[in-house]
């Protein structure tokens, strides 16, 4: 099954290239003017002379990039720089590319050092439920 649309950029998919060799690439959801939305990735080849081309092969085997969500002490707060965070947590962001930090919280209480206007989220902090009683805080600079 393809991932949910909000997971764009934090999912890796497998496909067979034109020679039949399995490849794994980070994919994004591309939206077209005719209303279609297709999972794809950009590629650059000798034939395209340095220009990127978007391709939409038949993908199979999807996974979130990065580490898995850790199982830790229920009172612990875990913080990652944006690019090191589990892809499954990064997929919850609605900031659109201005993220800096991700934190896994034991409950919905956000510590004051994570408030909007702090280095954690100098412009905005988004808090989302994880579904198991824990919450995710995503700090962004815009």
- pLDDT tens sequence across 44-99: 766 656 667 788 899 999 999 988 888 888 889 999 999 899 999 998 888 777 88
* pLDDT surpasses 90 at 18: no
Specify the pLDDT at position 15: 95
Q: Examine the domain organization and report whether 104 and 55 are in the same domain.
A: no
* pLDDT surpasses 80 at 116: yes
Q: Which of 39, 64, 89 is the last residue of a domain?
A: 64
> Who wins on pLDDT, 41 or 5?
41
Q: Which of 19, 36, 64 is the last residue of a domain?
A: 64
- Closest to 10 measured CA to CA, from 39, 37, 31, 51: 39
Q: Examine the domain organization and report whether 58 and 107 are in the same domain.
A: no
Q: How many independent structural domains does the chain possess?
A: 2
Specify the pLDDT at position 58: 92
Specify the pLDDT at position 138: 95
* pLDDT surpasses 80 at 33: yes
Q: Examine the domain organization and report whether 11 and 58 are in the same domain.
A: yes
Specify the pLDDT at position 74: 81
Owning domain of residue 119: 78-140
What percent of the chain has a predicted confidence (pLDDT) above 70?
A: 95
Task: Please say whether the beta carbons of 30 and 54 come within 8 A.
Answer: yes
Helices (H), the chain: 87-90
Specify the pLDDT at position 39: 93
pTM of the predicted protein model: 0.74
Joined together, the tokens standing for residue 105 give 């919280």
Residue 31 counted as domain residue: yes
Q: What is the mean pLDDT of the chain?
A: 88
Task: Please say whether the beta carbons of 140 and 95 come within 8 A.
Answer: yes
């Amino acid at each position: 099954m393809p991932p949910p649309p909000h997971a764009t950029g934090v999912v890796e998919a497998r496909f067979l290239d034109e020679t039949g060799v399995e490849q794994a690439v980070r994919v994004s959801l591309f939206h077209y003017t005719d209303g279609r939305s297709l999972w794809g990735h950009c590629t650059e080849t000798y034939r395209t002379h340095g220009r990127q081309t978007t391709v939409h092969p038949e993908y199979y085997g999807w996974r979130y990039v990065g580490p898995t969500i850790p199982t830790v002490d229920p009172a612990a707060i875990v913080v990652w720089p944006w690019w090191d965070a589990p892809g499954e947590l990064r997929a919850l962001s609605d900031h659109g590319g201005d993220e800096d930090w991700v934190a896994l919280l034991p409950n919905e209480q956000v510590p004051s050092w994570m408030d909007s206007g702090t280095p954690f989220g100098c412009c905005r902090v988004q808090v989302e439920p994880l579904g198991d009683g824990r919450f995710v805080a995503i700090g962004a600079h815009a």
